[in-house]
Structure 1
């Protein structure tokens, strides 16, 4: 008889200190005044889960536009971001913007689906509110004032 024990998913917000989390939340709320503190907290978690999943796979992953904005907020704290990457993953996780070949990697929607799967596979909670493209058109990171654009957050 084999016993399978399911692990509960980890909230990626636990990967950084409460102080750094508060700083990132404050930065995002300053840039996007309509963003609630609760949603900003959750966004930090999804960004951290994305970065962690990216560190665990050789496959290209892609953040949603809103998750990318949270990542940019963290990247601006270069020392804290570098220390986080080295302490947590043993390597620096680079931000490499650009468009991947659609034929080889799928479009934006396929990349986001792979990203969400990778976050779950890495053991982190997925908050689908931060990945709305999975239910809508095949989007890219254009910030064209769509419903999920940070402009409307």
Structure 2
């Protein structure tokens, strides 16, 4: 089992324990084998992705597994908006693009840029959640799903 990467103290507790539990339960509905440890790691990777997204104007691409947590978090609008504000942005938008607009090569390149940006921001990239790191399933990145390039 891969140890859970540590989050930087500045973002470690931006999602309270009750909401973390709810997010894991909600993602588990789509991912039945998701245990508590892996769920906590998924939230950590989502937080690392969003915290990195808040610090760049370059669009970043979540992995399929990270995106599952982000989709659930977006449904909890009040804590999501508070989370974004704690990162210093008004809102981190989820911007899906039509599949025809992005091909697999562009998606793979976007995923590599995203992982590099997360590492450059000081976060660990958990291989269980990112394709090309040895463990994670394939991603939907060919569909062009990104954060907003300008966090308003």
So what's the TM-score if we normalise by structure 2?
Answer: 0.74
The alpha carbon displacement at 1:39 in A equals: 0.9
Partner of 1:67: 66
RMSD across aligned C-alpha pairs, in angstroms? 3.0
Give 4+ residue runs of structure 1 displaced > 6 Å after superposition. Answer: none
Structure 1 alignment gaps of length 5 or more: 1-7, 144-153
Separation in structure 2 between the aligned mates of residue 13 and residue 45 of structure 1, nearest angstrom: 8
Change (3 A) 1:57 1:21: same
1:102 Cα deviation after fit: 5.2
Map 1:138-149; keep pairs closer than 5 Å.
140-141=140-141
Higher helix share: 1
Whole-Å Cα distance in 1 between the matches of residues 127 and 31 of structure 2? 20
Equivalence map 1:4-153=2 (5 Å): 10=8, 13-98=12-97, 107-133=106-132, 140-141=140-141
- Measure how far apart 1:123 and its partner are: 1.7
The alpha-carbon distance between structure 1 residues 20 and 9, as it changes in their structure 2 partners (threshold 3 A), is closer
Give the Cα separation in 1 of the matches to 2:93 and 2:120: 21
TM-score by length of 1: 0.73
**3-state SS in 2 of match to 1:15:** coil
Deviations 1:26-53 (A, max 9, x none): 2112332221121111111111111111
Q: Aligned partners of 1:13, 1:29: CA distance in 2, in Å?
A: 22
Separation in 1, partners of 2:29, 2:92: 25
Match of 1:148 in 2: none
Q: Which protein is bigger by CA-based radius of gyration?
A: 1
